[in-house]
Amino acid sequence: MNPANPPICDYEGSDYQERFWDHGGRAYEDRAEAAALYRLLPRGEGSLLELGAGAGRNSPRYGGFARVVLLDYSRSQLRQAQGRLGLSGRYRYVVADVYRLPFAPETFHAATMIRTLHHMADPQGALRQVRGVLAPGSAFVLEYANKRNLKAIGRWIVRRQAWSPFDRAPVEFARLNFNFHPAAVRDWLREAGFRVRRTLTVSHFRQPLLKRLVPLGVLVWLEALSQRTGGLWQLSPSVFVRAEAVEEAANGFNRRQRRHLLGSVV
């Protein structure tokens, strides 16, 4: 992989929203993620950047913000989002990739990245970019696919998978689809200039048999209770983190930006 140009997972022309979410039997996963967002999102005003927004499934859940910028690499996904959300002044649509965010430093007061980091071949670089466009003290809600989940641990114990769920290295189980170790993600966030404030474990009951046998309302109620264990252990397939952009990193980022601009002038 070329560090300057990491590969990008492109959903251009995909029917992902309709196939996976609308008709894919994912009502439980959608409700579980909505509960996590409700718990982690700040209630403030200002502008929020939604990274990997896709067709805008989560965008209406950011009701406390005056402006929501949906960013995605795929034009067709953002067109679907426009069809769902409209062209009101509250929503803005930006085609770009996370490795090269087209915004000035400290533009946003909050950011989310849901079901997106697992497509990142360079997750550290992506997190540094996110930190650069957030004002100090801003909240960043990040979701990632957890390699140290109960199913992976069980498969590894009975030797049905080669990779260890306890190894901190990412595992690419399909092209540009990665699972990450919770400790590694915490380290990357700290190195990028974030302080983790809260962790929730999500989608504890992501099993087809459970979703068929247990009523959705009961599953969501059990999920809401289980998410609170995230501060103790992370054994679910999905983990949500609320991190805070720290002041020291912002100062360092701005100094690097000024040096880069001065070098370009010279």
What pLDDT sits at residue 45? 78
Task: Specify the DSSP class assigned to residue 237.
Answer: S
Residue 128 dihedral angles phi and psi, to the nearest 5°? -65, -40
Instruction: Decide if pLDDT at 265 tops 60.
Output: no
Could you read off the pLDDT of 87-133 as tens digits, one per residue?
Answer: 878 999 999 999 999 999 999 999 999 999 999 999 999 999 999 99
% residues pLDDT > 90 (the chain): 87
Asked whether the beta carbons of 198 and 242 are under 8 A apart, the reply is yes
Asked whether the beta carbons of 46 and 110 are under 8 A apart, the reply is yes
Could you read off the pLDDT of 26-68 as tens digits, one per residue?
Answer: 999 999 999 999 999 988 779 999 999 999 999 999 988 999 9
Instruction: Decide if pLDDT at 263 tops 70.
Output: no
Instruction: Decide if pLDDT at 259 tops 90.
Output: no
Q: Please, what are the domains in the chain?
A: 16-265 (3.40.50.150)
Phi-psi region of 54 (alpha: psi -120 to 50; beta: other; left: phi over 0): left
Instruction: Decide if pLDDT at 237 tops 50.
Output: yes
Residue 264 binned pLDDT confidence (cut-offs 50, 70, 90): very low
What are the tokens at 156?
A: 């590894």
